[in-house]
Amino acid sequence: MTARVLVVGAAGKMGRAVQDAAVGREDVKIAGTVDQGDDVAAALAGCDVYIDFSTPAATLAAARAAIGAKRAAIIGTTGLGADAEPLFAELAKVAPVVVAANFSLGVNLMLGLVRQAARALGPAWDAEVVETHHKAKRDAPSGTALAIARSIAAGHGVDYDSVKRHTRDGDVGPRPRGEIGVATLRGGDVVGEHVAYFFGEHERIEIAHRATSRGIFATGALVAAAWAVGKPPGRYTMLDVLGLPS
């Protein structure tokens, strides 16, 4: 079966990358595209699933339309506020929904690896995440960096918000046991780099992923789109798509 895909935010960098990555694939085809001002509800009628790498406002509008259309959703928009989660939950009642901070297959493997490392090493090993992106990226830390940090917290069996540290400035005192730090770097045209550090006594472990093309995110989103069509309604992750334990 070939999944008919609607691209939301088609004129953006990721929207164009999704369209380019779909060329020649047999599991998906681009059935439509929409941008700001277009009728999303009408476009959804001619597709099985939509892929959204647009803006927070456009993503909320598309999700509202998808609830009525009962269409599967692949959502990679970053910088979403708290109002997005209840809406995604409503959509997940009627359609499969895959939300990911990063659709790279490599990054999602990294999420599984850092959780396993954190579980094995425990909070006695200091965990830090460093992310680097191009100078035009607006949100910080990146959604992927937060996903990595949350995977570490899950490995430790703790609530991430209770142990996170996103900024260090001035006399912050000694690093508390179990703290998970996230540092942000911005510059040039870096597509995306993420490194998870585990610092022990006299040794350290680094688990890293470096992207050199946005095409990897587009390819992963298309894999997710093909996978989602026909699945029961619910909220899924890329770990589900890849068949990895979540």
Which of 70, 133, 134, 194 is catalytic? The answer is 133
What local confidence, expressed as pLDDT, does residue 246 receive? 67
pLDDT at 243 over 80: yes
> Closest Cα partner for 192 from 127, 110, 119?
110
- In the chain, which residues fall in CATH 3.40.50.720? 3-99+214-242
Where residue 222 falls among pLDDT bands split at 50, 70, 90? very high
* Predicted local distance difference test score (pLDDT) of residue 214: 81
Of the residues 13, 29, 93, 137, which is catalytic?
A: 137
Q: Is 1's pLDDT higher than 90?
A: no
Strand partners, 41: none
- Asked: is 3-99+214-242 a CATH 1.10.287.130 domain? The reply is no
- Residues 110-167 pLDDT 10s: 998 999 999 999 999 999 999 999 999 988 999 899 999 999 999 999 999 999 999 8
Every domain range in the chain assigned CATH 3.30.360.10: 105-211
The pLDDT tens digits for 87-101 are 999 999 999 999 998
pLDDT band at 78 (very low <50, low <70, confident <90, very high): confident
Q: What percent of the chain stands above pLDDT 90?
A: 89
Q: Each residue of 31-76: pLDDT tens digit? A: 999 998 899 999 999 999 999 999 999 999 999 999 999 999 999 9
105-211 has CATH 3.30.360.10 classification = yes
DSSP annotation string for the chain: -PEEEEEETTTSHHHHHHHHHHTT-SSEEEEEEE-TTS-HHHHHTT-SEEEE-S-HHHHHHHHHHHHHHT-EEEE---S--TTHHHHHHHHHTTSEEEE-S---HHHHHHHHHHHHHHHHH-TTSEEEEEEEE-TT--SSS-HHHHHHHHHHHHHHTS-GGGTEE----S---SPPTT-EEEEEEE-TT--EEEEEEEEETTEEEEEEEEES-THHHHHHHHHHHHHHTTPPSEEE-HHHHHT---
Q: Tell me if residue 137 is catalytic.
A: yes
Q: Specify the higher pLDDT residue, 214 or 170.
A: 170
Count of other CB atoms within 10 angstroms of residue 243:
7
Nearest to 4 by CA among 74, 65, 104: 74
